[in-house]
Structure 1
Amino acid sequence: MDSLTQAALGAAVGGAVLGRRLGRKAVLLGALLGTLPDLDVVLDYGDAVANVTEHRGVSHSLFVLTGLASLLALLFQRFAPIRNISLGHWWTFFVLCLVSHPLLDALTTYGTQLWWPLDAGPSAYPIVFIIDPLYTLALLGGLLAALVGPRVRRACVWGLALSCSYLLFAAGAKLTVEQRLAPALAARGLASAPRLVQPTPFNTLVWRATVIDGDDHYEALVGLFDGAAPPSLERYRRGAEWQPLALSHPRGERLAWFAGPFLRYEVRDHQGQETLIATDLRLGFPGFHPFAFTLATREGGTWQPVLVSEQLASPYQANGDRRQALARLASRLWGPEPPLCTSHFVAAEWIVEAPSHC
C-alpha cells in the first residue's frame, strides 16, 4: 500500500495499543513505525529486475520485524522507562505497529515476502488495490478524532474497526466475483487454469480476472453491480514461445519466481537491438502494464543476457491513454454498460479474440 496508508495504519495501531498510556505520542510513534519497512525503496540492488523483486523482502519479513520489535522493546524499557508501561506492553506495541505493514501489503496484488529468508515467494491475497481511498479515509477519520479529541485509544480503535470492516467487505466481494466468473471459465475449459482476481484501481466494485492458458491469457472485468450479465473474456497472445529463452537466464528465473505464470514475453527493437522483454501482467491491465523488463539481446545470432536490466514503458497505447481508460473504468463501476474493452488499448497483433461488443 502507499506510504500515507501505511503511516495511518501504524498510527491507528499505536494509538489502539498504547493510546491510553502514551496519548498522542503513541499515534506519532506508530506512524513512524508504520512507514519504516518501506525505507528499502532507497536501496539500489543493481538493476530493474532486482529492484522490483527485492522490494518488500528483508524489511517486510515477519521474522526480521519481530526481532526488531523485540530489540526496540528492550531498548525503550531500559532507556526510556515509563512507570505504567511494561516490557510486554512495549513488545506488543512495536510488533503490531511493524508487522501490520507487511500484512496489509499481503492483501495487494504483488503481496510481500512475509517469510524471508525462506524462499517461499511473495505471499499475496489481493483484495485491495495499492491505493484505496475508502480504506485510507476510514483510518484517517479515526486518527483525526484521536488528534483533536480526548479519547485517543477509543478513536483509533474505531478507525481500525471501520478499516477492517472494509477489508471484510472486499474479501466478500472477491468471493462473489470468483463465483460469477467460475461458469464462464468452465465453459472455456479453464476451470483449473492459473488465475488472478484482483480489484481494479481505487475501488472494490469492479474486479479484473487474468487467466493463463499456455500461449494465451484471458482478461475479464466483473462488477458487483453487473446483475445477471455474464462475464465476457478477451483473449490475448502471451508470447510463450519465448518463455524457455527467458527462463534460461537468471533474471528471467527471478521474474518467474516473483510473478509466477503471469508474464508475457516478446522480442522487439530496443536501442537498435533485438531485445527479449518480459512484462508482468498483474499490475495495470492490457495496454497499461507498468512493469516490463529487458532480459537479453541478440548479438551475432546468439542471445546474451543484458548486463543491467531496464524497466520499459508499455508501447501499446496507440488507441487511447490512461485518462481515457480510467474514465471508462469509472463509468463501468455501476453496471456492465458501457463495457470497458481492454482490447481498445492493445496492439492488434496481440489480440486473439475480442467480444463482439468490443
Structure 2
Amino acid sequence: MDPVTHGLVGASSAQLFSDKESFKVASLVGFIAALAPDADVFLGSSSNPLLTLELHRQFTHSFVFIPFGALVVTLVLWVFVKKKLSFKQTYLFSLLGYSTAGLMDYITSYGVHMFWPFLDERFSLNLVSVFDPIFSLGLLIAASIAFYRKNKRYSIGLVGWLAVYLCFAGIQQTRVENLANDQLGGDNNSNKEFIIKPTIGNQILWSVRTVNQREICSYGIRAGLFSTPEVYEGDCAELIDWNSEFKSFKGTAMFKDIERFSRLSEGLLVRHPNHPEVLGDARYSMLPTTSNPLWGITVDTTKTDRHVDFDSYRDASPEVRTKFLNMLLGRTK
C-alpha cells in the first residue's frame, strides 16, 4: 500500500481512541507509526540484492512484532510529543497505528508475513492494488475533515469508507473469478490454477494468469460496473524448471539465489523476452496481457560464486500506457 494511505489509516485508528486535546498529536503519532514497518526497505545489502526483497513485508509486518515495533516508534516520538502526551498514550497511539500496516498490505497483492516466525509464507487478499487513487481519496477526505474538526465521527466515516470499498473490491474480484472459470477454465479446469489481481490504480481492469505445469498464460478482464465484462487474451510463456536446468550448479551462491527468488515468486519463473539471461516473476507485468515480468534476477553462469543481480524492468512507454488505457476504458478488444 502507498505511504499516504498507510498513514491515513494509522492516523484514523489513533483518532478513535483520543480526545479533543490529544486528537491532532495522536493523529500524527498514528500516521508515523503506520509508516514505520516499511522502514524494512533499508535493511537490505548491496552485496546481497535479494535480501531486501526477502525482508520487505516480513518480520516488521508480523503480528508478533507489532508491540515491539510500536515501542520503537514510541521511544523515538516521545521526545517530541511528551509535552502533549504521556508515554502510555504515545505507546497506545503508536500501537494502534503500527497494527494497521500489515493489515493494509494484506489487502493488496504482494502479501505479508503475518505469522512470522511461525509460518514462512506470505498472505494476501488481492483486493486492491498497491496504489488506488479513488480508495485513497475517500480516506484522505475523511481523515482531513476529522483532523480539522477534531471530531472522531469523521474517523468512523473513514472506517466506513474502507469497509464499503473493500466490499466493492470483493464483489469485483468474485465477478472476475466467475468469468475466468467460465471462459478460461477449459475442459481440464481442475488442472489449472488462477492468479487474479487488480491492475494498478483501479477496480475495473484485472490481471488474470492461468497456470499449469508447463506454462503461464496472461489475460486481462475488464469488469465494468454497468457493462458486460470483456476478456482480453494475451500471450503465454514457458515456466522454467530451474532446478533441472541449473542442477549442475547446485550448492553455488547463484543456485541458492535462484532458489530464493523462486520461493519469493511462488515458483512461477519465466525468461524475460527481451533479456534471455533474466529469470522474472511471472505474476506481475505492466500490462495484464503480457508475460514480460516487472522484475527479475540476472543469471550469469560464469560468476556462480556471486549473488545474482536483481533489477526491475518497468516499461511505461506511451505505447504501453495507451494499450492499458484502451483496455481500462473498453476502447478495444
User: TM-score, normalized by length of structure 2?
Assistant: 0.83
- Structure-to-structure mapping, 1:61-76, within 5 angstroms: 61-69=62-70
Partner of 1:12: 12
Q: 1:291 pairs with 295, 301, 318, which one? A: 295
Partner of 1:137: 137
Offset at residue 137 of structure 1 (A) = 0.9
Distance 1:191 1:293 in 2: 32
- Structure-to-structure mapping, 1:70-219, within 5 angstroms: 93-151=93-151, 153-187=152-186, 189-219=188-218
> Do the aligned partners of residues 2 and 262 (structure 1) sit closer, same or farther apart at CA in structure 2, a change above 3 Å counting?
same
Offset at residue 21 of structure 1 (A) = 5.7
Identity over the aligned pairs, expressed in percent?
18
Offset at residue 235 of structure 1 (A) = 3.8
Distance 1:114 1:35 in 2: 16
Residue deviations 1:46-85 (CA, integer Å, cap 9, x gap): 4222221221112111101134447878997xx96989x8
Distance 1:325 1:240 in 2: 26
User: In 2, are the aligned partners of 1:184 and 1:230 still within 8 Å (CA)?
Assistant: no
Partner of 2:32: 32
Residue deviations 1:9-35 (CA, integer Å, cap 9, x gap): 211211122254621111111111010
Partner of 1:51: 52
Distance 2:227 2:180 in 1: 13
**Which sits farther off after the overlay, 285-294 or 27-36?**
285-294
Amino acid at match of 2:259: E
Distance 1:276 1:334 in 2: 35
Residue deviations 1:139-168 (CA, integer Å, cap 9, x gap): 1101211232242x1222212221231122
User: In 2, are the aligned partners of 1:24 and 1:146 still within 8 Å (CA)?
Assistant: no
Partner of 2:327: 332
User: In 2, are the aligned partners of 1:65 and 1:95 still within 8 Å (CA)?
Assistant: yes
Q: Superposition RMSD on alpha carbons, in Å?
A: 3.2
**Which sits farther off after the overlay, 113-122 or 29-38?**
113-122
Amino acid at match of 1:186: G
Partner of 2:281: 280
Distance 1:287 1:212 in 2: 12
User: In 2, are the aligned partners of 1:287 and 1:314 still within 8 Å (CA)?
Assistant: no
Partner of 2:265: 259
Distance 1:34 1:313 in 2: 26
User: In 2, are the aligned partners of 1:7 and 1:30 still within 8 Å (CA)?
Assistant: yes
Aligned residues: 319
User: In 2, are the aligned partners of 1:16 and 1:157 still within 8 Å (CA)?
Assistant: yes
- Structure-to-structure mapping, 1:309-324, within 5 angstroms: 309-314=308-313, 322-324=317-319
User: In 1, are the aligned partners of 2:145 and 2:154 still within 8 Å (CA)?
Assistant: yes
Distance 1:195 1:124 in 2: 15
User: In 2, are the aligned partners of 1:214 and 1:240 still within 8 Å (CA)?
Assistant: no
Distance 2:134 2:264 in 1: 28
Offset at residue 338 of structure 1 (A) = 0.4
Q: Which runs of 5+ in 2 are unaligned?
A: none
Distance 2:72 2:42 in 1: 23
> Do the aligned partners of residues 245 and 116 (structure 1) sit closer, same or farther apart at CA in structure 2, a change above 3 Å counting?
farther
> Do the aligned partners of residues 172 and 268 (structure 1) sit closer, same or farther apart at CA in structure 2, a change above 3 Å counting?
closer
Residue deviations 1:247-280 (CA, integer Å, cap 9, x gap): 85221221222221332146997xxxxx853201
> Do the aligned partners of residues 156 and 219 (structure 1) sit closer, same or farther apart at CA in structure 2, a change above 3 Å counting?
same
User: In 2, are the aligned partners of 1:246 and 1:253 still within 8 Å (CA)?
Assistant: no
Amino acid at match of 1:289: P
Distance 1:18 1:288 in 2: 48
Q: Which runs of 5+ in 1 are unaligned?
A: 270-274, 340-358
Offset at residue 241 of structure 1 (A) = 4.2
Offset at residue 297 of structure 1 (A) = 2.4
Distance 1:192 1:22 in 2: 57
Distance 1:137 1:279 in 2: 33
Offset at residue 293 of structure 1 (A) = 0.7
User: In 1, are the aligned partners of 2:282 and 2:292 still within 8 Å (CA)?
Assistant: no
Offset at residue 206 of structure 1 (A) = 1.0
Distance 1:91 1:314 in 2: 41
User: In 1, are the aligned partners of 2:273 and 2:292 still within 8 Å (CA)?
Assistant: no
Runs of 4 or more, structure 1, over 6 Å off, are: 70-76, 266-269
Amino acid at match of 2:6: Q
Q: What is the SS of the residue equivalent to 1:56? A: coil
Distance 2:208 2:243 in 1: 22
